[in-house]
């Protein structure tokens, strides 16, 4: 019986060895197949088609795959920027900013560097929140837009950056006005004056300045500071004679009189303040 059992034991071991060898060749074959990649142009074009189709998250992944598989090609550089754009379109601003900062650090001389800075500014700009909330993103947007305007003044993005800078400044000025009004309603006049003065001095090109000058006049009158009230009123008359805020300011001094048009006067502070007497 021992002579019969020996072959039965050897046969399974022999088959196991064969299967093991076949298994190795099978898995090695699989490894060889996974190593083979699509040509970079095909991968890049597929990613582009996903982007065009609005599949932004999938497009970002596909562009990342191009960079990972062909890290030293020109396609990798393009893919970094395109992945950032895809994240931006998907409203994934944090991911977009990480990709853009990396692109800017690695390729400062790239022909598309101005666009990278512009897209970075847009990522912050799109996150600007209501004036009642924290304005950190507004400040970052302003700084990034300034970089586009100063670094690339001749680029096609400079004009739009300048326009968005004006809107961003307006937003920051209105934030100061909201805080100033808060203090004014609560009769905390000195705190209100600090905010309104900041608008008049630091945000001179914004639409908030006429109201800031009116509110300054209002605050000074409440504190009995006639000279300061007259000065801010005169500046308002000098620079914004057609503003509704000028009319409201005039009535602070002359409640029953219709405001005269400031352009009829010699508009120096010394002469204009006489209209309030």
CB 83 within 8 A of CB 91: no
Question: Is 79 among the domain residues?
Answer: yes
Question: Is 64 among the domain residues?
Answer: yes
* Predicted local confidence at residue 275, as pLDDT: 43
Question: Is 86 among the domain residues?
Answer: yes
* Predicted local confidence at residue 129, as pLDDT: 86
Domain boundaries, position 70: 39-90
* Predicted local confidence at residue 36, as pLDDT: 58
Question: Is 68 among the domain residues?
Answer: yes
Question: Which residues are CB-neighbours of 82 under 8 A, at least 6 positions away?
Answer: 47, 48, 51, 59, 63
- Long-range contacts (CB closer than 8 Å, 24 or more residues apart) made by 60-66: 60/86, 60/87, 60/90, 60/92, 60/95, 66/40
Question: Is 76 among the domain residues?
Answer: yes
Question: Which residues are CB-neighbours of 40 under 8 A, at least 6 positions away?
Answer: 66, 69, 70, 73, 75
Match 């509704």 to its residue by tokens. Answer: 244
* Predicted local confidence at residue 15, as pLDDT: 33
* Predicted local confidence at residue 229, as pLDDT: 93
CA angle 105, 107, 110 (to 5 degrees): 140
CA distance 47 to 62: 5
Question: Is 115 among the domain residues?
Answer: no
Question: Is 65 among the domain residues?
Answer: yes
Task: Report the 10 Å Cβ neighbour count for 277.
Answer: 7
pLDDT per 10-residue tile (average), the chain, 277 residues: 39 38 46 63 94 96 94 92 97 96 96 97 93 89 97 96 96 96 96 97 95 96 93 93 89 67 41 45
Q: How many structural domains compose the chain?
A: 1
Task: Report the 10 Å Cβ neighbour count for 45.
Answer: 14
* Predicted local confidence at residue 10, as pLDDT: 38
Question: Is 78 among the domain residues?
Answer: yes
CA distance 69 to 56: 20
**The whole model's pTM is what?**
0.75
């Amino acid at each position: 019986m021992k002579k019969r059992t020996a072959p039965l034991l050897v046969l399974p071991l022999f088959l196991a060895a064969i299967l093991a060898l076949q298994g190795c060749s099978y898995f090695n074959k699989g490894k060889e197949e996974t190593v083979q990649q699509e040509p970079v142009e095909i991968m890049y074009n597929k990613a582009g088609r996903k982007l065009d189709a609005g599949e932004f998250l999938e497009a970002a992944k596909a562009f990342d795959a191009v960079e990972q598989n062909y890290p030293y090609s020109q396609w990798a550089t393009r893919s970094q920027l395109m992945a950032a754009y895809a994240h931006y379109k998907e409203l994934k601003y944090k991911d977009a900013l990480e990709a853009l900062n990396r692109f800017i650090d690695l390729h400062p001389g790239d022909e598309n560097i101005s666009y990278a800075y512009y897209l970075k500014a847009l990522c912050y700009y799109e996150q600007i929140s209501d004036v009642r909330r924290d304005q950190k993103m507004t400040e970052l947007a302003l700084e990034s837009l300034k970089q586009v305007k100063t670094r690339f003044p001749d680029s096609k993005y400079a004009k739009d950056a300048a326009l968005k800078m004006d809107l961003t400044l307006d937003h920051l000025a209105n934030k100061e006005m909201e805080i100033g009004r808060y203090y004014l309603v609560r009769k905390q006049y000195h705190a209100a004056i600090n905010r309104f003065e900041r608008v008049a001095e630091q945000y001179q090109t914004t639409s908030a300045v006429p109201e800031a000058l009116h509110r300054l006049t209002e605050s000074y009158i409440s504190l009995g500071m006639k000279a300061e009230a007259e000065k801010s009123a005169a500046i308002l008359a000098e620079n914004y004679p057609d503003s509704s805020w000028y009319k409201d300011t005039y009535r602070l001094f002359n409640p029953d009189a219709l405001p005269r048009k400031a352009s009829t006067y010699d508009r120096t502070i010394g002469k204009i303040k006489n209209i309030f007497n």
